[in-house]
């Protein structure tokens, strides 16, 4: 596929040689991790195709949209409301943050002990290998953790179009007000960028499109309660990752299609793991493409992942925006309300998240929880201890893992995870 | 003879095999260097152990592999983590065991274990040589004291050097400056042992166990480390005659359990 897109990548200013190397590694990783799974649902073919075209056809589609006068907005966080972007006929895409790239170059700009996700975002920019960041008309940074917040000061000098959104850190009336002010400011910025005046009808349409996408993911999540599991955790994670890249309407249809297939499988008690296989809930930091290390180790050790309490997963998708009200103000309030519920670890205190992890463990009948923190991700590492304490007092075995995108700890992780699975499997 | 099994533990430094009969009696064992080829090392360990028991390797009824290189033993009927194997092996040797401290060549683990030998909880160090046999190896090379002589040297120490860093690289520089200041060898070694013990002690505290403690893994042979660990946990610690083969022993028990 590479050949037909080379001129497109060149025009975007990508470093073709480095980009070839990246695609080769991604392709090989995908083959090893995903294509070796047995009895995958047929509906996964669509998502395999999307990943195979993630830097190809999908980027071409975005460039075609741009040529037709529409805009592309890149983001790093689920707090950037897609409803508003859609209302202006623009497209929101998640930017690349899931692999180490150009690390030496990155460490000229960021301290070494910065989390892998932030370093990765810089690596893709500095290494000139992310077609999304290069196609974006606007890049939205957001003041979540200190690492991201401060790194945007530096990123702002590397890209011409960074927009920084402030975010509350407390769930008080004042916090809600800040979010509202910032979402209104963002709406104006999107209007200025696109030249589209966002009215109530447009907002309603935007809410509907994004809600449908979330509803499809809710349906998929529910089907993961089945034993035997009809879909692997890796494949379900992949769908949650594609959520951030694909055309929303096409994505929604594809998720619903695979859900039909899964329902048929469940009716026949057909699964990708044997009935009674140990069930694991993943909780913690987001996993962006191609960060599949931990789920791959878990599922090749005989356990099935039944849910992700993560921004790339249920934390990011679980609530709908209530489409109530007829005015722009009402609808903006609904969008604020919806996003204000996201229980990201940047909030203090953040009891909702712990309650949600516990609730998910029960709902998905997890035998244990694996808490994943990226090294140097202070908010989630800090929360991992109270999460573990709370779960263990509820007699839910918990394993805390701290790792990064490198593979040098894979052997140790395998031992810890396999021992954890042996432990929860023998109970 | 029929129904005998092998447990094999392919570790980062040594590969150990234990042969056991149906009545859970150990018939023989072997310890060989892992070297650069885990599969060959496993085969050698098994051949040596079988030879010692006067058995033919092909008559084995079941084989369970554990350890870092457990995937590199193609003959294995099953693979179990060393965490589960050390737990099972320690309880077999010392039925009062409630906590296993396994300090191995490249990682250390503290395991809370039930009376049935099953793992209830565990902690393992990550991505760091502190509190592992590797830390001792680096220091032994630096001080030019053989690894198996370190225990006796530290027991004879009158004082103790303070080594404040848990990082192997920084601790090594501390040792260099202690040597430069003519600090007695014994005191440096004792300080090194204290550093390992403190690190592992912090791990044991996460599990809160009041019962018997058993130490396994190569470092359990170091009397100096064991003595300091006993001081820290405030009670006597069970140390097997052959602490290195506890993983393989556990693997053999797993082989019998699922015959």
What would the pLDDT profile of A326-345 be if each residue is shown by its tens digit? 999 999 999 999 999 999 99
Q: Could you say which DSSP state residue B67 is in?
A: S
**DSSP labels, A106-145:** HTTTS-TTS-HHHHHHHHHHHTT--HHHHH-SEEEEE--S
Contact B124 A415 (CB under 8 A): yes
Task: Answer whether A116's CB lies under 8 Å from A148's CB.
Answer: no
B245 to chain A, minimum CA–CA distance in Å?
18
H or E stretch covering A283: strand A279-284
For chain B, the distance separating the N- and C-terminal CA atoms, rounded to the nearest angstrom, is: 16
> How much is the ipTM here?
0.84
Nearest CA in chain B to A397: B121
CB of A418 within 8 Å of a chain B CB? The answer is yes
Name the helix (H) or strand (E) containing A299: helix A293-299
Query: Could you give phi then psi for residue B76, rounded to 5 degrees?
Result: -65, 135
Return all residues near B201 (Cβ < 8 A) that are at least 6 apart: B229, B232, B233
Q: What band does A157 get if pLDDT is binned at 50, 70 and 90? A: very high
Contact B126 A397 (CB under 8 A): no
Q: How far apart are CA B60 and CA A70, in angstroms?
A: 70
pLDDT bracket for residue B251 (50, 70, 90): very high
For residues B239 and B259, what is the distance between their CA atoms, to the nearest angstrom? 29
A411 touches chain B (CB under 8 A): yes
Handedness of CA A285, A290, A291, A294 (dihedral sign): positive
Mutate to test the interface with A, among B64, B76, B83 (most CBs of A within 10 A): B83
Nearest CA to B13 out of B123, B88, B107 is that of: B107
Is A408 near chain B, with CB under 8 Å? yes
Chain A residues with beta carbon closer than 8 angstroms to that of B84: 419, 422-423
> Does A100 contact B at CB distance below 8 Å?
no
For an interface test with A, which of B85, B127, B129, B132 has the most A Cβ atoms less than 10 Å from its Cβ?
A: B127
Query: Which chain B residue has the Cα nearest residue A410?
Result: B127
Q: For position A236, what pLDDT does the model report?
A: 98
Helix (H) or strand (E) holding A66, with range, is: helix A57-67
Please count the other Cβ atoms lying within 10 Å of the Cβ belonging to residue A113: 9
The correct CATH number of B96-239 out of 3.30.420.40, 3.50.50.60, 3.40.190.10, 1.10.630.10 is 3.30.420.40
Tokens of B32: 């060989």
- Phi-psi sector, B214: left (phi>0), alpha (psi -120 to 50), beta: beta
Contact B124 A418 (CB under 8 A): no
Q: Can you say how many angstroms the Cα of residue A405 is from the centroid of all Cα atoms in its chain?
A: 15
Helical pair B168-180 and B133-143, crossing angle rounded to 10 deg: 30
**Where exactly are the structural domains of chain B?**
5-84+245-258, 96-239
pLDDT at A427: 61
Query: Domain B5-84+245-258 has what CATH class?
Result: alpha beta
* B194 CB-near residues (< 8 Å, 6+ apart): B160, B163, B228
CB contact under 8 A, A419 and B83: yes
How far, CA to CA in Å, does A73 sit from each of A8, A167, A260, B72?
19, 18, 32, 48
pTM of the complete model beyond 0.90: yes
Sign of CA dihedral A125, A131, A133, A137: positive
Distance (Å) from the alpha carbon of B152 to chain A's nearest alpha carbon: 31
pLDDT in tens, A14-61: 999 999 999 999 999 999 999 999 999 999 999 999 999 999 999 999
- A280 — phi, psi (to 5°)? -120, 135
pLDDT tens sequence across B112-131 = 999 999 999 999 986 677 78
Q: Could you tell me which residues are beta bridge partners of residue A345?
A: none
Indicate whether A394 pLDDT > 80.
yes
Average pLDDT, chain A: 96
Strand partners, B109: B102, B124
Chain B residues contacting A, CB < 8 Å?
68, 80-84, 107, 118-122, 124, 126-127
B118 chain-A contacts, CB cut-off 8 A: 423, 426
CB contact (8 A) between residue A419 and residue B107: no
From residue B27, give the alpha-carbon distance in Å to each of B1, B10, B45, B55.
Answer: 11, 19, 14, 10
Whether B5-84+245-258 and B96-239 share one fold: the answer is yes
Distance CA B109, CA B128 (A): 13
Neighbours of A64 (CB within 10 A): 10
Query: Cβ of A412 under 8 Å from any chain B Cβ?
Result: yes
> How confident is the model at residue B259, as a pLDDT?
57
In chain A, the N- to C-terminal Cα span, in Å, equals 49
The model's pLDDT over A62-105, given as tens digits with 9 standing for 90+, comes to 999 999 999 999 999 999 999 999 999 999 999 999 999 999 99
CB neighbour list of residue B107: distance below 8 Å, 6 or more residues apart: A412, A415, B124, B125, B132
Q: How far apart are CA B257 and CA B249, in angstroms?
A: 12
Measure A40 CA to nearest chain B CA, in Å: 25
Write out chain A residues lying below 8 Å of B107, CB-based: 412, 415
Q: To the nearest 10°, report the CA torsion of A209, A210, A216, A220.
A: 170
For residues B214 and B111, is the Cβ–Cβ distance under 8 A? no
Shortest CB distance from B118 goes to which of A408, A412, A426? A426
What is the reported pLDDT for B126?
66
Determine, for residues B68 and A415 on separate chains, whether the beta-carbon distance falls below 8 Å: yes
Q: What is the pLDDT of residues B20-70, one digit of tens each?
A: 999 999 999 999 999 999 999 999 999 999 999 999 999 999 999 999 999
pLDDT band at A10 (very low <50, low <70, confident <90, very high): very high
Of the partner residues B107, B119, B124, the one whose CB lies closest to the CB of residue A422: B119
Query: For chain B, where are the E strands, in sequence order?
Result: 5-10, 14-20, 26-33, 62-66, 78-79, 97-103, 108-113, 119-124, 212-216, 237-238
């Amino acid at each position: 596929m590479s050949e037909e897109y080379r001129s497109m990548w060149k025009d975007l200013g990508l470093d073709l040689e480095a980009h070839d190397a990246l695609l080769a590694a991604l392709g090989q990783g995908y083959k090893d991790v995903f294509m070796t799974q047995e009895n995958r649902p047929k509906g996964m073919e669509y998502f395999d195709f999307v990943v195979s075209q993630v830097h190809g056809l999908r980027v071409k589609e975005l460039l075609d949209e741009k040529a037709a006068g529409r805009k592309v907005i890149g983001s790093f966080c689920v707090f950037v409301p897609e409803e508003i972007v859609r209302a202006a006929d623009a497209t929101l895409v998640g930017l690349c943050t899931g692999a180490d790239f150009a690390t030496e170059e990155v460490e000229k700009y960021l301290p070494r002990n910065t989390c892998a996700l932030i370093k990765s975002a810089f690596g893709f920019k500095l290494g000139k290998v992310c077609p999304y960041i290069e196609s974006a008309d606007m890049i939205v940074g957001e003041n979540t953790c200190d690492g991201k917040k401060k790194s945007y000061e530096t990123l702002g000098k590397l890209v011409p179009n960074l927009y920084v959104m402030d975010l509350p850190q407390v769930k008080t009336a004042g916090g809600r007000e800040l979010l509202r002010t910032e979402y209104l400011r963002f709406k104006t910025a999107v209007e200025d960028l696109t030249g589209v005046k966002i009215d109530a009808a447009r907002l309603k349409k935007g809410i509907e499109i994004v809600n449908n996408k979330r509803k499809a993911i809710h349906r998929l999540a529910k089907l993961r309660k089945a034993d035997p599991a009809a879909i692997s955790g890796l494949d379900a994670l992949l769908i949650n990752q594609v959520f951030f890249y694909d055309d929303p309407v096409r994505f929604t249809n594809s998720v619903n299609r695979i859900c039909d297939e899964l329902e048929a499988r469940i009716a026949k008690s057909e699964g990708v793991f044997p009935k009674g296989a140990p069930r694991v809930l993943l909780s913690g930091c987001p996993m962006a493409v191609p960060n599949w290390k931990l789920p791959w180790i878990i599922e090749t050790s005989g356990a099935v992942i039944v849910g992700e309490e993560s921004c790339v997963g249920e934390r990011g998708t679980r609530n709908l925006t209530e489409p109530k009200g007829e005015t722009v103000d009402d609808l903006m309030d609904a969008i604020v309300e919806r996003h204000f519920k996201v229980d990201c670890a940047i909030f203090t205190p953040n009891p909702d998240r712990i309650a949600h992890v516990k609730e998910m463990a029960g709902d998905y009948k997890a035998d244990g929880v694996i808490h994943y923190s990226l090294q140097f991700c202070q908010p989630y590492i800090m929360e991992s201890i109270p999460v573990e304490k709370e779960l263990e007092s509820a007699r839910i075995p918990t394993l805390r893992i701290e790792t990064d995108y490198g593979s040098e700890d894979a052997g140790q992780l395998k031992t810890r995870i396999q021992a954890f699975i042996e432990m929860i499997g023998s109970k | 003879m029929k129904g005998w099994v092998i447990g094999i533990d392919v570790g980062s430094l040594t590969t150990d095999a234990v042969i056991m009969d149906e009545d859970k009696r150990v018939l023989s064992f072997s310890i060989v260097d892992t070297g650069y080829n885990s599969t060959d090392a496993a085969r050698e360990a098994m051949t040596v152990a079988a030879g010692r028991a006067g058995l033919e390797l092909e008559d084995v009824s079941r084989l369970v592999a554990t350890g870092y290189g457990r995937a590199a033993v193609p003959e294995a009927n099953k693979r179990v983590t060393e965490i589960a194997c050390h737990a099972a092996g320690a309880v077999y040797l010392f039925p009062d065991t409630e906590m296993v401290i396994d300090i191995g060549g490249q990682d250390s683990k503290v395991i809370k274990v039930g009376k049935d030998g099953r793992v209830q909880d565990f902690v393992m160090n990550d991505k760091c040589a502190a509190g592992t046999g590797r830390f001792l190896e680096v220091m032994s090379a630096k001080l030019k004291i053989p690894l198996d002589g370190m225990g006796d040297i530290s027991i004879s120490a009158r004082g103790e050097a303070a080594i404040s860093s848990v990082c192997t690289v920084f601790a090594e520089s501390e040792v260099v400056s202690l040597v430069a200041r003519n600090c007695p060898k014994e005191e440096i070694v004792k300080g090194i042992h204290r550093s390992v013990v403190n690190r592992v002690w912090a791990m044991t505290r996460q599990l809160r166990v009041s019962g018997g403690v058993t130490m396994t893994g190569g470092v359990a042979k170091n009397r100096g480390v064991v003595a300091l660990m006993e001081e820290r946990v405030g009670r006597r610690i069970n140390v097997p005659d052959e602490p290195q083969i506890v993983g393989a022993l556990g693997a053999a028990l797993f082989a019998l359990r699922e015959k």
